Homo-oligomer: A and B are copies of this chain.
Amino acid sequence: MNTDSLTQVSGAEPVEAARDARTRARRRQLLAAAVKVLQGKGSEQMSMQSVAQEAGVSVGLIYRYFASKEEVLRSVIVGVLEDIEARVPAAILAAGADPVDRVAAGFDAYCRVIAENSEAAVITYRESSRLSAENRKVIKDLEMASVKPLSQATQDAVDAGLFAPVDVDLFAYNLVLLAHGWALKSWYFQPQHTVDSYISGQLALVLSAALAPEHHTEYSRYLTAKED
């Protein structure tokens, strides 16, 4: 009995599965290193050499898991967007049936994902211009998709008469813009705000804009920002 035969006995699928798992783990490890470099160096470039060093592997290895530097960059950005795609709808779902609660929960979740991936979120603005047109389109499509749950909840609130007849798309995209604002303008907001106070402050503003006057008291819990 030799190890060679052992490996082959167990069939192709488990081996592939194991390989896949290793591959995913490597990619995660490398992307984590990439993010760390991007935030660490701050204003500087993300060199493949520095990503390799940060990950404790060789440069060559990165090219086994990513075709190019551009793919690494795209994957970092897509990672944030996938995180949003996973968590925002989940938060909306968990918020129950009330459309206003759903809008609030969606915005809350969006902000928290951005806050947790602050550096990567900024990178989206900084680096996506370096990507090919094709990759930029992928990212735009993902971002547009990420607005959908928010605009759907907003539309529901309008339809239910809870919101005044606002421009739904504009309102929803503003939510996204304000969420990004936390990361983009951290130097402005972070001296005076925590994520929590930022979220509640922004919710107070946006909901008092949208809520139909007759429902203000009903949702007054959203309309006064919590103290920092």
Contacts and interface: CB of A to CB of B under 8 A. Distances in A.
Interface in A135-191: 136, 140, 143-144, 164, 166-167, 169-171, 173-174, 177-178, 181, 184-185, 187-189
A123 B123 CA distance: 13
Contact of A177 (B133, B166, B178, B208): B178
A208 B173 CA distance: 17
A170 B202 contact: yes
A136 to B, nearest CB: 7
Contacts of A202: 170, 174
Contact of A205 (B131, B132, B174): B174
Interface of A is mostly: helix
A104 interface: no
A51 to B, nearest CB: 16
A43 to B, nearest CB: 4
A185 B128 CA distance: 12
Kindly name the residue among A45, A131, A170 whose own CB sees the greatest number of chain B CB atoms within 10 A: A170
A86 interface: no
A181 B208 CA distance: 21
Given A177-B177, A178-B174, A185-B173, A43 B209 contact: no
A206 interface: yes
Contacts of A201: 167, 170
A103 B20 CA distance: 56
Contacts of A45: 130
Give 4 nearest A-B pairs by CB, closest first. Answer: A209-B209, A43-B129, A177-B181, A125-B125
